[in-house]
Amino acid sequence: MKIKAGIVGATGYAGAELVRILLGHPDAEIAAISSVSFEGQKLSDVYPAYYGLCDLVCGTQEEVVEQSDVIFAAVPHGLSQELAVQCVQAGKAFIDLGADFRLKDEAAYQKWYNGSFQYPELHEQAVYGLPELFREEIRGKKVIANPGCYTTAAPLALAPALKEGLISSEGMIADCKSGATGAGRKPAQNTHFPDLNEGFSAYKVAAHRHTPEMEQTLSRVCGKQVHMTFVPHLLPINRGILATCYARLNSGVTEADIRDAYSRMYGKEYFIRLLPQGKVADVKNVRCSNFCDISLHVDTETGTLIAISAIDNMGKGAAGQAVQNMNLSFGVEEQAGLKMVPPAF
């Protein structure tokens, strides 16, 4: 008996990638999809790549909740809380690809998202779905906040060194670069082809709302409140996030110490590929997959750790990780449906 999966907001990029992954999942099937913008239309009319493969018609949110065991919400920030309540009341699992349940601190949520916690008990119940750091919390849970893309890439790059006290908890910097799908499917000037193509710049410099989410994760990892500098950039490519993270090495720490720490923490993680010395993480190598490649570099001259992680912002940064969380929630194999090989070119 397969897990019946439903997607609210299936015509956004994250929703569409969920469809692609779930179509190949051995233990799940797509029960229903919805879309406000395209209600009544076939998904394959919106994404002709799926023609003949997923010709499901977009229905309503209510239909999705009713027909599914697990509901993935790929909707704009702020719309998930109401939906979460419906799911919980109906006894369904709920995995939110938006930000509504990510921050545990309501003040931070208010500051960065301009909203409030409407159902505090739901926020209590919600777990943060970054399995490589918090796996045991996620198993069997029914309200899961799927992390953002930047907030998956950067914390994974720094966590082992921070946890083992090899780097200072002050002065961490995440210089991140994202592909254009991260900005969503809706056309906008900065993602208009002639404007983005052959261009490259930062945006929301030190003012992106993923900052508090990163800090929350890393604070949990090291057991005290940390702050960091986060600068996102927009790349003229479709998929991928590269997080080039800088941290000050504590005195006496060697590259070998660093590599040992990462091996201890990630050595058995299927989805984290620690690259051997001399290799550098590249977004190209993780496209259309759930992998996070990490390469480690030490600048001995200045005593700086440079940890670089690469993920597919739509894979490990959104839909892939959401499916990984579904697997943990339902107790099926964690890698189920996620073993796709990234295309080499």
- Beta strand 172-178 with 228-234 is parallel
Q: Which is nearer to its own copies, 106 or 200 (CB)?
A: 200
Confirm if 317 and 311 have CB atoms less than 8 A apart.
Answer: yes
Q: Which two tokens stand for residue 257?
A: 């110490």
Looking at the DSSP bridge assignments, the partners of residue 177 are 233, 242
**Residue among 58, 87, 149, 292 flagged as catalytic:** 149
300-329 binders of its own copies (CB under 8 A): 301-302, 304, 306, 308, 310, 314
How many CB atoms within 10 Å of residue 212? 22
Q: Which is nearer to its own copies, 50 or 330 (CB)?
A: 50
Q: Which is nearer to its own copies, 44 or 125 (CB)?
A: 44
Query: Side-chain half-sphere of 343: how many Cα atoms within 13 Å?
Result: 4
Residue from 6, 131, 240, 317 that binds its own copies (CB under 8 A)?
Answer: 240
149 is catalytic: yes
154-173 binders of its own copies (CB under 8 A): 170-171, 173
CA-CA distance, 206 to 214, in Å (whole number)?
Answer: 12
3-state DSSP of 60-73: CHHHHHHHCCEEEE
Exposed / middle / buried, residue 12 (Cβ in 10 Å: 0-12, 13-18, 19+): buried
Q: Which is nearer to its own copies, 86 or 191 (CB)?
A: 191
Q: What's the min distance (Å) between Cβ of 53 and its own copies?
A: 5
Confirm if 244 and 264 have CB atoms less than 8 A apart.
Answer: no
57 touches its own copies by CB under 8 A: no
Site pattern 20..49 for its own copies (x: CB under 8 A):
x--xx----------------------xxx
Looking at the DSSP bridge assignments, the partners of residue 59 are 34
Residue from 120, 279, 331, 333 that binds its own copies (CB under 8 A)?
Answer: 279
* Total residues in contact with its own copies, by rule CB under 8 A: 88
Q: Which is nearer to its own copies, 122 or 234 (CB)?
A: 234
CA-CA distance, 162 to 246, in Å (whole number)?
Answer: 12
Identity (one letter) of the amino acid at 290?
Answer: N
Site pattern 191..230 for its own copies (x: CB under 8 A):
xxxxxxxxxxxxx-xx--------------------xxx-
Q: What's the min distance (Å) between Cβ of 227 and its own copies?
A: 5
Residue from 102, 142, 273, 316 that binds its own copies (CB under 8 A)?
Answer: 273
Confirm if 143 and 208 have CB atoms less than 8 A apart.
Answer: no
Stretch that binds its own copies, among 19-27, 68-76, 88-96, 249-257 (CB under 8 A): 19-27
Confirm if 284 and 182 have CB atoms less than 8 A apart.
Answer: no
**At which residue do the structure tokens 């209600």 appear?**
39
Stretch that binds its own copies, among 81-89, 128-136, 138-146, 190-198 (CB under 8 A): 190-198
The CA-atom distances, in angstroms, between 234 and each of 167, 179, 196, 214, 242 are 28, 6, 8, 19, 11
Q: Which is nearer to its own copies, 100 or 312 (CB)?
A: 312
Confirm if 11 and 185 have CB atoms less than 8 A apart.
Answer: yes
Looking at the DSSP bridge assignments, the partners of residue 214 are none
Site pattern 284..303 for its own copies (x: CB under 8 A):
xxxxx----x-x-xxx-xx-
244-263 binders of its own copies (CB under 8 A): 244, 246, 248
Residue from 5, 28, 54, 294 that binds its own copies (CB under 8 A)?
Answer: 54
- Residues involved in catalysis: 149
